[in-house]
Amino acid sequence: MKHSASVTLILLALFLAAQFIGLAVVYNYIDTDRSAAEGKTVFKELPIGERPPLQETTSYISILLSILVGTILFLFLMKHNWIWIIRLWFLVAVVFSLTMVFGSVLSPITSFFLALLLGLWKLLRPNLWIQNGTEVLMYGGLAVIFVPVFNLFSGIILLILIALYDAYAVWKSKHMITLAKSQAKAKLFAGLFIPYQSSLTGKHLLPASKNSRVKKAALKVRTAILGGGDIGFPLIFAGIVLKEMGLWQSLLIPPFAALGLAVLLWNSQEKKFYPAMPFISAGCFIGLGIVWLLGIIV
């Protein structure tokens, strides 16, 4: 077992919280009046910016290309030690995503300034609570951007390709491991971060002290991590199920995605890297199968 039972349960609980909160955000963006009038799910406009003009059946191609380009750019910036650009990029992504989340219940201006406050806090004074709290929230913001440009077919293809890419990036090219270590170097992490020590205070979440002894002590603290993509992609898929099939159907996807993650965590070994998406994607597909089966029975 890769982590202790308590840490594993915390990681799974935060994963599920991110999924269900994200689905609530997506649901709040549905325009119920227009959806009823047009006979299909129609989404409200975003508080800032616009959704990418993608075709539903081929949108997964653009998303995958964006991931590849972003990965290459990130590695290029790290190679040249342009940490400040990475940190600015990180801040913009966090603020933009959180603005989408808060925009589901607040005005655009209020949403932006609240997101900016949390984004700066996360970047400049990171700790356990702000790191994981913002991570649990922000993927709902990404979902409301991308769910409307997918249909169920393209969502399934996306999960399959992301699972294959994740397996290749961890087991073959190993550049996903390099990305994770590079984020630590930049004192950032996109994903859930559970330290075994100082779990209540979060004092050693992301070392920011100039004292070398404190830095070394912080870096030696064992941690459990889950990358942002491992949270975001199953949430997008659940949002697609919400859009295409309905609310109760979408609520069945996260538990099975978490089950796939739990199988990985239970069977993996300490100090080894594993791709989570093949297991999470499998869980999502089992959940979709259950939804279809219940649809036939009911």
pLDDT in tens, 81-103: 888 898 999 999 999 999 999 99
Taking 60 as the threshold, does the pLDDT of residue 290 lie above it? yes
For residue 176, the model assigns a pLDDT of: 80
**Residue 246 included in any domain:** yes
For residue 279, the model assigns a pLDDT of: 96
**Residue 35 included in any domain:** no
Average the pLDDT over 125-154 and give the result: 94
Q: Determine what percent of the chain is predicted with pLDDT higher than 90.
A: 61
- Could you report the per-residue pLDDT of 44-64, keeping only the tens digit for each? 999 988 888 888 999 999 999
CA distance 115 to 97: 8
**Residue 36 included in any domain:** no
Does residue 98 contact residue 141 with C-beta atoms inside 8 Å? yes
Q: What is the mean pLDDT of the chain?
A: 87
Q: Tokens in use for 238?
A: 């659940």
**Residue 43 included in any domain:** no
- Could you report the per-residue pLDDT of 181-227, keeping only the tens digit for each? 777 666 778 888 888 764 434 444 444 444 444 444 444 557 888 98
Buried b (16+ CB within 10 A) or exposed e, 256-279: bbbbbbbebbeeeeeeeebbbbbb
Q: Determine what percent of the chain is predicted with pLDDT higher than 70.
A: 90
Number of domains in the chain: 1
**Residue 40 included in any domain:** no
For residue 274, the model assigns a pLDDT of: 86
- Could you report the per-residue pLDDT of 250-283, keeping only the tens digit for each? 999 999 999 999 999 998 887 788 899 999 999 9
**Residue 44 included in any domain:** no
CA distance 125 to 105: 27
For residue 221, the model assigns a pLDDT of: 59
Range of the structural domain that residue 168 is part of: 5-30+54-297
**Residue 42 included in any domain:** no
For residue 26, the model assigns a pLDDT of: 97
For residue 121, the model assigns a pLDDT of: 95
For residue 185, the model assigns a pLDDT of: 67
At 156 the three-state DSSP class reads: helix
Taking 90 as the threshold, does the pLDDT of residue 104 lie above it? yes
For residue 232, the model assigns a pLDDT of: 95
CA distance 273 to 178: 11
Q: Which pTM does this prediction carry?
A: 0.89
- Kindly compute the dihedral angle of the four CA atoms of residues 69, 70, 74, 80, in this order, to the nearest 10 degrees: 40
